[in-house]
Structure 1
Amino acid sequence: MVLLEDGLSEEVEESFVKLWKSPAPSKVVTFFWLAIIDRIPTRSNLVWRHVLAPSESRECVFCAHGEETSTHLFVHCEVAVLIWRKLMDWLEAPLESVSVDLACGDLVNLEGKEC
């Protein structure tokens, strides 16, 4: 997440406002919000919360090429990148995001597109 000394960046705050006003189902909005604040149950978070033992692998279950964090799962994982490319191609939108909050912001800013 992009943070300033006194809180969230203006860009992220704007994305939050648009996200919460989105016509998307509340489950989808909540999931994106949890992804932005890094609270989804990734392997890394489950170890941090003591749900998984520290000795458990934190490796991504999809690509096995990095620690499973929100950012990895939604931005850096090669499987996620393929999914994002297909989705953004279908929506005719550029794929330029480098973080979860920016990726969510990109989707929130796609006005007039219907899934």
Structure 2
Amino acid sequence: MDDHVESGESLTFYLRTQGIDTKYVDSGDAAIALAEGWAPHMVILDITMPIRDGYSTAAALRRSKRGSDVIILALTALDEAQVRRHGAGFDAYCQKGTKLPLLLTLLASFVASPAV
């Protein structure tokens, strides 16, 4: 979720090129609705959003039936300390502008390795 359409669509395209099934929405309400119908493993939220910010979106997802166990990543221009102080229940944090391979490494850290 990102209200900056070009950024959101670019990240979605990049993740798809890496084999990740990804959907993009531009609002908190749309993210909640999408999570209810799609049941993603992870949700990437911008925090500074109009109408419903990433904090309230994360909280609503945590209260929802399908979103309670989803991994929620804050991808934001805000600094990590500020995000953590708010206590919105994010599982991970990534600063906007981070190189995409580093973001992929972070995302991969949440994927369980198959049993051998």
Category of TM-score, reference length = shorter chain: 0.3 to 0.5
- Higher helix proportion: 1
Q: Under a length normalisation based on structure 2, what TM-score does the superposition of the two structures give?
A: 0.32
- Higher strand proportion: 2
Please identify the structure whose Cα radius of gyration is greater: 1
Q: Under a length normalisation based on structure 1, what TM-score does the superposition of the two structures give?
A: 0.32
